[in-house]
Chain A
C-alpha cells in the first residue's frame, strides 16, 4: 500500500482565517514533506520532517507552520495567508530522507485564499 491521504481536498479561506491541512501515511515511512505547486509549475519543496523532526525549511514565510505530531501524521497550519498563497499543497512521504528513497505523494489540497 503506497497511499498518502490528505484532507481537505479543497479549502477556501479568507486572509484572516486560521486553517490546517492534514496528511497521513501508514507505510511506516520516517520522512514526510510539504510541497507547494502553482499552476503549470513543478512542485516546490517547503518543509521536510525526518523522524518527526524538522530537517529542512526552504525559507517559507512564518504564516505557514508545519507540525509532525507522530510518524504517521503531518499538519500544515495556515494563518494570515495572502492571495498569492493560493496553490495545490502536496504532501509526500518516503522510507527515509535519502536520495535513494522514492517519495510517494498524496492527492493534494487545493487552497484558495480570498
Chain B
C-alpha cells in the first residue's frame, strides 16, 4: 500500500533561515511519481515539483531545492533564505503506476517570522 509520511507537523523559522521539510514514502511499485504542493492561507494548492522514480537528480529552482533518495525513500524539500511569503502548508504526495489516486502526506505547516 502507498503511504506518505510528513513527520513535521509544524515548523517555525525566522526569516532568512534555511528550512528542510521531510517526506518519507512507501510503495511497492518500482515506477512512481512524487510531488510537492504548497497551500497558502488562501487555500489553493500550488504545484511545485514532480519527480519520477527513475530520476534521482536533485533539483534546484531559485530558493527551492529537492533531494530525492530512493535508498531512504525520501523526497525532502529545502527552502533557502526563507521569506514570510513562504508561510504555508506544504504537502508531499505520491502516485504509482497503477492510476491509483494521489496519496497525500498530512502536510507540514511552515511559519516564517519576520
Chain A interface residues toward B at CB < 8 A: 2, 40-43, 45, 48, 56, 58, 88, 90, 92, 97-100, 102-108, 110
* Known contacts A2-B47, A107-B42; is-contact A42 B99 (Cβ 8 Å): no
Q: How far is the CB of B35 from chain A (nearest CB, A)?
A: 7
Chain B neighbourhood of A104, CB < 8 A: 47
Query: Does the CB pair B35–A102 fall under 8 Å?
Result: yes
Whether B96 contacts A99 by the Cβ 8 Å rule is: yes
Q: Could you list 25 A-B pairs, sorted by A, with CB under 8 Å?
A: A2-B47, A40-B107, A41-B106, A41-B107, A42-B105, A42-B106, A43-B91, A43-B104, A45-B101, A88-B43, A90-B43, A92-B45, A98-B99, A99-B33, A99-B95, A99-B97, A99-B99, A99-B100, A100-B33, A102-B47, A102-B50, A103-B47, A105-B37, A107-B43, A108-B43
CB neighbours of A99 from chain B (8 A): 32-33, 95-100
Bin the interface of chain B by size: 20 to 34
Q: B50 near A106 (CB under 8 angstroms)?
A: no
A43 partner residues in chain B, CB cutoff 8 A: 45, 91, 104
Contact A106-B44, Cβ < 8 Å, known A42-B91, A45-B102: yes
Interface residues in B26-53 by Cβ distance below 8 A to A read 32-33, 35, 37, 42-47, 50, 52
Interface residues of B (CB under 8 A from A): 32-33, 35, 37, 42-47, 50, 52, 91, 95-102, 104-107
Residue in A2, A41, A102, A110 whose Cβ sees the most chain B Cβ within 10 Å: A102
Q: In the complex, A105 Cα to B48 Cα: how many Å?
A: 12
Q: In the complex, what residues of B have CB within 8 A of residue A102's CB?
A: 35, 47, 50
The complex places the Cα of A102 from the Cα of B51 at a distance, in Å, of 10
